[in-house]
Chains A and B, each alone.
Chain A
Amino acid sequence: MSEALRKPAPAREPAGRKSVIQELADLSAVVVAPADDQTSLLVRELQRLRMRVRQVWPMPESVPGDADVVYCEYAPDLARRLPWIPGDARSALVVIVPATDPIQPEALANATPDAVLPRPFTANAVLSSIVLARSQFGYERRLRGKIERLDENLRSMRTVERAKAILMATRRMQETEAYSFIRRQAMDRRVSASAVAAAIVDSFELLGYDQHTDPQ
């Protein structure tokens, strides 16, 4: 390995993006595992990343769900012990997998972990697991948020279309003109385009229906 590669990564510009290590700092972690040398190594490595770590054992009936990351010993009934329903996880989950004892693939799949950490642990394995878990968990959450917004936009688009048609008929606007009118109003009033569109549609109804300006 060349000397250049051994050097620590240069500190980022203050205005730049946080490094992965910086993103991990101050996160909270719960480690559900028996207190042994291995667990000590795990806790120490997480603390070295400046995470706040709490160790829990024996395995509780309901795994704590208030941390950013949960490291949890594999158990055949792990999914049942998680405090959330699948698809609605509140923490990134890393399942600690035994070195040789057999595990059930279904049980692991049902727990829907974001990463796994097989025994015996090493510093690199711990770092990899936390990076992967945070990345996967964050990405899934962003995708879910995106779908929610898409759903909402899909509905509001109908209102925007209706408002556009009203503007075109009542104000003799062209299509692009009508759209930019809605956009401009939204920016001026600091509300969403769909809120402006809804207001236009509502006021059109309030002012009364006129056959001659029926946008249909």
Chain B
Amino acid sequence: MSHLHHETSAPWRIGVLFSRTGFMSVVEDTQYQGTLLAIDEINDAGGVCGRQLVPLAYDPGSEASAYGHLAKRLMIEDEVSTIFGCYTSSSRKAVLPVVERLNGLLWYPTLYEGFEASPNVIYTGASPNQNSLALCRHLMDHYGTRFYFVGSDYIYPRESNRVMRELLKTNGGAVVGERYVSVHARWQDFLPIMQDIRRLKPDVIFSTVVGEATAYLYQAYANLGLDPRRMPIASLTTTEAEIAAMGFDVGEGHITAASYFQGVESDSNCAFVQAFKKRYGNDVSTNMCAEASYFQVHLFARALEQANTLDTDVLRSMVLGSSYDAPQGTVTVNPQSGHADLWTRIGRANRAGQFDIIDESHAAVHADPFLIGYGRATAHAG
């Protein structure tokens, strides 16, 4: 019996894959922080079934292919079956064949373009019906119908723009320009785009620029002295982390749609923000990606408590349909798609680098990654 007891106190080993270096570290580092915070909270409370969670973390250095190789290393050499990680869709798609072939489970805490539902992934970031839809409606109601698209050149921005273009057209709007920049873009790459924007005078600049380049886009805008009250940059990816990188004054007045902002008022969020600041410093802010990274570890721990095994098939069946009182509000993993039902919020950046929440859903919005239940229902109310 003593041998058995010894066996059951062995830690649960889990994989963590976020870039702490390279151009994506500005946000992925906060996802890493959110993940570790939740792991420590669970361990401090006695672990799961009396066993501690032990993270094995690698830094893919913002290289998409490195995610695939490190996922292979985690699953084969480290014998880990559950991995928390990935921000960009390119990195998710690099990990996908590995977890699908070896039957692992990837927990993906990032908004993405939808049109995917792998049996080996739990999606805890927003899909388009949980952010693009409300953002499009809000922008058309308050600013106008002519949109200019700027994005980083990889899967997510192009697919996300495809969805936004369709929403716009359905509701009588138009795309007056569409430009893509390298994920390694520098500030000067945005100068010709800003000239183009000044010439075309769109009502809204819709940005899917991610990572370090985000700051250069907003700075180029600010340098031209353009006015966010008339022509805001609207984004699904600019969080408190990117605002901090560009400067609070540069970000002020611009719009982001997200499931979570640090300013959400709830007991659960209050505790999360306090714990985050206590651990990482008073001047750092939480954001939607850090929050999803945080609550998905808690969702995982709840399911593991029931399953008492990291076996993907058993664990996944416990995760599907489960709920958690997350900082953004109660979230539930939709059993059909493995995507979380999340809240929809529109925020406007203020002078303090935080978002004032100017619109929000009354409840969590059902995840609809394939946009099956929308169409006529989204028709512009105006």
**Chain A residues close to B by CB (< 8 Å):** 77, 79-80, 85-88, 106, 109-110, 112, 151, 154-155, 158-159, 162, 201, 204-205, 209, 214, 216
- Contact A85–B169 (Cβ < 8 Å): no
- Contact A85–B72 (Cβ < 8 Å): yes
Residues of A contacting B143 with CB < 8 Å? none
- Contact A88–B172 (Cβ < 8 Å): no
**Chain B residues close to A by CB (< 8 Å):** 68-69, 71-73, 75-77, 79, 94, 96-98, 100-102, 115-116, 162, 166, 169-170, 172, 174-175, 370-371, 376, 379
Residues of B contacting A158 with CB < 8 Å? 166, 371
- Contact A209–B69 (Cβ < 8 Å): no
Closest to A78 in B: B76
7 tightest A-B CB contacts, nearest first: A87-B97, A87-B101, A86-B101, A88-B97, A85-B68, A79-B76, A85-B72
Residues of A contacting B370 with CB < 8 Å? 154
Contact of A216 with B376 at beta-carbon distance under 8 Å, contacts A162-B166, A201-B169, A205-B174 already known: yes
Identify whether the interface residues of A are mostly helix, strand, loop, or mixed: helix
Which of B69, B73, B76 has the most chain A CB atoms closer than 10 A to its own CB? B76
11 pairs across A/B with beta carbons < 8 Å? A85-B72, A85-B94, A85-B98, A86-B98, A87-B98, A112-B101, A154-B115, A158-B371, A159-B166, A209-B172, A216-B170
Which of A77, A85, A154, A162 has the most chain B CB atoms closer than 10 A to its own CB? A85
Residues of A contacting B174 with CB < 8 Å? 205, 209
- Contact B172–A112 (Cβ < 8 Å): no
Q: What CA separation (Å) do A136 and B255 show in the bound complex?
A: 51
Q: What CA separation (Å) do A134 and B174 show in the bound complex?
A: 51
Contact of A86 with B162 at beta-carbon distance under 8 Å, contacts A110-B102, A154-B115 already known: no
- Contact A87–B100 (Cβ < 8 Å): yes
Inter-chain pairs besides A85-B98, A87-B101, A87-B102, 6 sampled, C-beta below 8 Å: A79-B76, A86-B75, A87-B98, A88-B98, A109-B102, A110-B76
Q: From residue B80, how far is it (CB to closest CB) to chain A in Å? A: 12
Residues of A contacting B69 with CB < 8 Å? 85
Q: What CA separation (Å) do A155 and B158 show in the bound complex?
A: 13
Residues of A contacting B71 with CB < 8 Å? 85
Closest to B72 in A: A85
